[in-house]
Amino acid sequence: MSRIVMKFGGTSVADLDKIANAANKVAQEVENGNQVVVIVSAMSGKTNELVGWVRETKPDYDQAEYDAVVSSGENVTSGLMALRLQQMGIKARSWQGWQVPVKCTGHHEAARIDDIPPENMNAAFDAGYAVNVVAGFQGVMDDNRIATLGRGGSDTTAVAFAAALKADRCDIYTDVDGIYTTDPRIVPNARKLHRISYEEMLELASQGAKVLQTRSVELARSYHVPLRVLSSFEDDISDKVGTVVCREKDIMENIKAVKGVAYSRDEAKVTLVSVADRPGVAAAIFGPLADAGVNVDMIVQNISEEGRTDMTFSCPVDQVLRAEKALKAAHEADDINYKEIIVDDIVAKVTIVGNGMRSHAGVASKMFKVLADEGVNIRVITTSEIKVSVLVDRKYMELAVRALHDAFELETA
Amino acid sequence: MSRIVMKFGGTSVADLDKIANAANKVAQEVENGNQVVVIVSAMSGKTNELVGWVRETKPDYDQAEYDAVVSSGENVTSGLMALRLQQMGIKARSWQGWQVPVKCTGHHEAARIDDIPPENMNAAFDAGYAVNVVAGFQGVMDDNRIATLGRGGSDTTAVAFAAALKADRCDIYTDVDGIYTTDPRIVPNARKLHRISYEEMLELASQGAKVLQTRSVELARSYHVPLRVLSSFEDDISDKVGTVVCREKDIMENIKAVKGVAYSRDEAKVTLVSVADRPGVAAAIFGPLADAGVNVDMIVQNISEEGRTDMTFSCPVDQVLRAEKALKAAHEADDINYKEIIVDDIVAKVTIVGNGMRSHAGVASKMFKVLADEGVNIRVITTSEIKVSVLVDRKYMELAVRALHDAFELETA
């Protein structure tokens, strides 16, 4: 007998029909002889509604109350899923985070799962429950108050249960049928990947492919949980479908240097011109930005003149005002010194990702040549062992993605 | 410093504006120097939506799952109310039933509150919280699963907290401004009562005045909790407004024999004609009815002929089919024996209530004369120490209520 975790996101449990559809998939796994833990999100739209009420009631809301309110959406779907499974003759029950318990630490609204003692859940399986349905996205703090894990947290819940209950795999059911070489809306011949490594998935996820929450992939990597992404809306749930995210050594097909192309449309580039170049200047700039909640991504420093430097970074467009405010305050406080701030808020980021880059030389230079041939000017470059990212003018983003997808022949395996 | 419980029903927290309005009343009590426990229902309509989903998913639903789903409505309002109070500068926090904990026993969907250990709530007051906001209608069973108290259960939650925390009073905010001598929609000069005894309120509540849940009044009587019913939608919350439900000895105005007239429109009268009259026949009839979930109200037995009797009872109209089915099954099983079942499903019940009946003779006969003078035929009569109920043709119900209200001069104090 295997034990598996199945996670259904908001669009997969959006209404009673969708819940019934998801329950059918659970029933298949039960018929296959598996013990199943089902993790559910709130019906799509519900969480946004609840968050809206919280923000309207108190714009600078108490995050513990936010968690108490917003977690209720998952409670509803977990009960309805258990009822639907019972209606199909399957012995099932629901669990809210505190009942398991899913022990959390850290900050409300962005809590981390600290521990999931498996005793209660194992006792339920021993008592004959074929399915334990758990409300995702939530847990309980030491002081018995409810915690939530941040948007997309149900993926993390699923992986954490798979690790705690030593599940054989963790299937993430969603509204796409797997991970693609790039966004098929931009490149129609994008190819679905059968397998991808945790590291590659992390780069794709953080680089703008929105299928899996980054933390869930990190957690899966730490605990070697085989993750599978597959569609809620297709009948086949056999091994043949979806994309498995697993260890690099479990992937046989890694012949290519580049595995996928990711993008992020709404980026901004901020340049501090002629910063006094002294030890500690980077900390003086990026400390206040972090305190202001600005997610700085790429950072480039160029020497411009003797003793002065230009400092460039990128961040999401909607954080630019916050960034400027923090930098001006630091300037007025004499913590940093610069001539001016130049903002370019119509850029986008394009990234190529692949474990194969480690062994293939010349991948970055090929990328630059492809973009140059298309007349796409590169504003900023950053690299890691398994990815190269560039900032380009936003209007060239789709062109760049298509050109790179073609050049690295990602449409074929 | 006083400690008070304030309960807001679904229409009083129906949206964010109404929650803000209710929070204003809480703020007034905080300014008056009170420690406040606020009990909230779900936003009106929410519970019905959740119940609908449960029934649609599994018509013969698991009541533990029903409770898990349906309790979520109160969780939302308790958090939003706490946030609203915080927004007004008041130190407040929300509590879900299991966090307090509100310990329950009995059956899911109709649980009873067994105990509310006051330690956590007192600790919060000691820590400087001026207001503890509690999700009504819910608690937790011994096995850590969520329980609900049945429809209207938030009234019971409020009274139970008032008893457990030794509150000085329990104010039930609702969409009417008090308890009236009868329904003002039927008798325009119905008078609002300033005080009414627990016993009278119980008769009015169970006889069709829908303002307070019967169990909450019983609980208030047991623990001597002074209950007040008042409007959420009027500004004045001083001692002058609303109706106080209290001990008979705390009421000075009990000069009148009759305090109020209640009615229940959708009643049915069922007669078993010529039942074999033997010991145990009543049990043989009403046992199966109870098992079938028929709420039998009035019961009258007439001798019709030697060794035979007619047995008449009343029940809500929508339970008649169930009653007939149960009786026919008992007949076929030879548990009971009758000639025929006669159903009159266009009757209504009219009741006069008043502690003063104990000391005033002739109240019942005056009632019968008033109805006779109006040409209203009485079908069935039952009495208790403080009430007289009659079944009449439904078309005469309003006429009977008005005539009795006039005859007993209830429009004047």
pLDDT at A253: 60
Q: Coil, helix or strand for B24?
A: helix
Residue A235 lies in a domain: yes
Tell me the C-alpha to C-alpha distance, in Å, between residue A15 and each of A82, A132, B57, B65, B344. Answer: 14, 20, 11, 17, 43
Q: Do A279 and A209 fall into the same domain?
A: no
Q: Do A213 and A344 fall into the same domain?
A: no
Could A58 and B146 be called an inter-chain contact, meaning their C-beta atoms sit closer than 8 Å?
no
Helices within B88-129 (DSSP H only): 119-126
pLDDT at B57: 97
Residue B184 lies in a domain: yes
Range of lowest pLDDT (A286-290, A359-363, B230-234, B318-322): A359-363
Q: Do B237 and B302 fall into the same domain?
A: no
pLDDT at A272 over 90: yes
Query: Which of A253, A277, A312 is the last residue in one of the domains?
Result: A253
pLDDT at B254 over 80: no
Identify the CA nearest to B275 among candidates B344, B213, B218, B331: B331
Longest dimension (CA), chain B: 77
Could B82 and A99 be called an inter-chain contact, meaning their C-beta atoms sit closer than 8 Å?
no
Residue B256 lies in a domain: no
Interface test with B, best of A16, A47, A58 (most B CBs within 10 A): A58
Tokens matching residue A305: 């003149």
Query: How many CA atoms lie less than 13 Å away from B177 in the CB half-sphere?
Result: 13
Residues A283-321: tens digit of each pLDDT: 889 999 988 888 888 988 877 677 788 889 999 999 999
Chain A CB contacts of B62 under 8 Å are: 82-83, 86, 93
pLDDT at B6: 98
Q: Do B14 and B156 fall into the same domain?
A: yes
**Percent of chain A residues topping a pLDDT of 70:** 99
pLDDT at B362: 86
Please tell me the distance in Å from B354's CA to the nearest CA on chain A: 44
Distant-in-sequence, close-in-space partners of B56: CB < 8 Å, separation ≥ 6: A16
Helices within A41-192 (DSSP H only): 46-57, 63-70, 72-87, 119-126, 153-164
- pLDDT range class, residue B71, cuts 50, 70, 90: very high
Q: How far apart are CA B393 and CA B154, in angstroms?
A: 35
Q: Do B239 and B270 fall into the same domain?
A: no
Pairing between strand B169-174 and B3-8? Answer: parallel
Q: Do A105 and A12 fall into the same domain?
A: yes
- Eight-state DSSP code of residue B351: E
pLDDT at B210 over 80: no
Tell which phi-psi region holds residue B92, choosing left (phi > 0), alpha (psi between -120 and 50) or beta. beta
Q: How far apart are CA A254 and CA A242, in angstroms?
A: 18
- pLDDT range class, residue A142, cuts 50, 70, 90: very high
Q: Do B86 and B231 fall into the same domain?
A: yes
Query: Which of A220, A253, A286 is the last residue in one of the domains?
Result: A253
Which residue carries 């789709």 as its tokens?
A398
Which strands sit side by side in the sheet containing B146-148, from one edge to the other?
A: B110-115, B103-107, B138-140, B146-148
Residue A413 lies in a domain: no
Nearest CA in chain A to B77: A69
Q: Do A227 and A337 fall into the same domain?
A: no
Could A83 and B94 be called an inter-chain contact, meaning their C-beta atoms sit closer than 8 Å?
no
Q: Does B57 touch chain A (CB under 8 A)?
A: yes
Residue A412 lies in a domain: no
Per-position DSSP letters for A280-341, written without gaps between them: THHHHHHHHHHHTT-----EEEEEEETTEEEEEEEEEGGGHHHHHHHHHHHHHTTSS--SEE
Nearest CA in chain A to B94: A65
Residues B156-192: tens digit of each pLDDT: 999 999 999 999 999 999 988 999 999 999 999 999 9
Could B68 and A56 be called an inter-chain contact, meaning their C-beta atoms sit closer than 8 Å?
no
Range of lowest pLDDT (A139-153, A275-289, B3-17): A275-289
Q: What angle do CA A390, A392, A396 make, to 5 degrees?
A: 130
Q: Do B187 and B93 fall into the same domain?
A: yes
Q: Do A135 and A267 fall into the same domain?
A: no
Helices within A58-118 (DSSP H only): 63-70, 72-87
Chain A CB contacts of B117 under 8 Å are: none
- Eight-state DSSP code of residue B294: -
**Structural contact between residues B311 and B346, judged by C-beta atoms closer than 8 angstroms:** no
Q: Does A123 touch chain B (CB under 8 A)?
A: no
Residue B413 lies in a domain: no
Residue B287 lies in a domain: yes
Nearest CA in chain A to B49: A76
CATH of the domain at A287: 3.30.2130.10
Could A53 and B76 be called an inter-chain contact, meaning their C-beta atoms sit closer than 8 Å?
yes
Structural domain that includes position A328: 261-407
**Percent of chain B residues topping a pLDDT of 70:** 99
Q: Does A78 touch chain B (CB under 8 A)?
A: yes
CATH of the domain at A218: 3.40.1160.10
Q: Does B66 touch chain A (CB under 8 A)?
A: yes
Query: Which of A195, A229, A253 is the last residue in one of the domains?
Result: A253
Interior/surface letters B153-170, b for 16+ CB within 10 angstroms, e for the rest: bbbbbbbbbbbbbebebb
Q: Do B132 and B203 fall into the same domain?
A: yes
Q: Which of B62, B72, B98 sits opposite A83 (nearest CB)?
A: B62
Residue B412 lies in a domain: no
Range of lowest pLDDT (A21-30, A242-251, B294-303): B294-303
- pLDDT range class, residue A36, cuts 50, 70, 90: very high
- pLDDT range class, residue B72, cuts 50, 70, 90: very high
Chain B CB contacts of A144 under 8 Å are: 99
Q: How far apart are CA B32 and CA A38, in angstroms?
A: 50
Distant-in-sequence, close-in-space partners of A169: CB < 8 Å, separation ≥ 6: A2, A4, A5, A162, A225, A226, A227, A228
Please state the length of chain A.
413
pLDDT at B250: 84
Please tell me the distance in Å from B55's CA to the nearest CA on chain A: 9
Q: Does B19 touch chain A (CB under 8 A)?
A: yes
Q: At what angle do helices B363-373 and B397-407 cross, to 10 degrees?
A: 130
Task: State the average pLDDT over residues B15-27.
Answer: 97
The domain total for chain A is 2
**Structural contact between residues A349 and A209, judged by C-beta atoms closer than 8 angstroms:** no
Q: Coil, helix or strand for A27?
A: helix
Q: Does B196 touch chain A (CB under 8 A)?
A: no
Q: Does A138 touch chain B (CB under 8 A)?
A: no
Residues B352-397: tens digit of each pLDDT: 999 888 877 789 899 999 999 999 999 889 888 899 999 999 999 9
Range of lowest pLDDT (A90-94, B103-107, B136-140, B209-213): B209-213
Q: How far apart are CA B216 and CA B408, in angstroms?
A: 29
pLDDT at B79 over 70: yes
Task: State the average pLDDT over residues A133-151.
Answer: 95
Q: Do A49 and A194 fall into the same domain?
A: yes
**Structural contact between residues B277 and B311, judged by C-beta atoms closer than 8 angstroms:** no
Q: Coil, helix or strand for B250?
A: helix
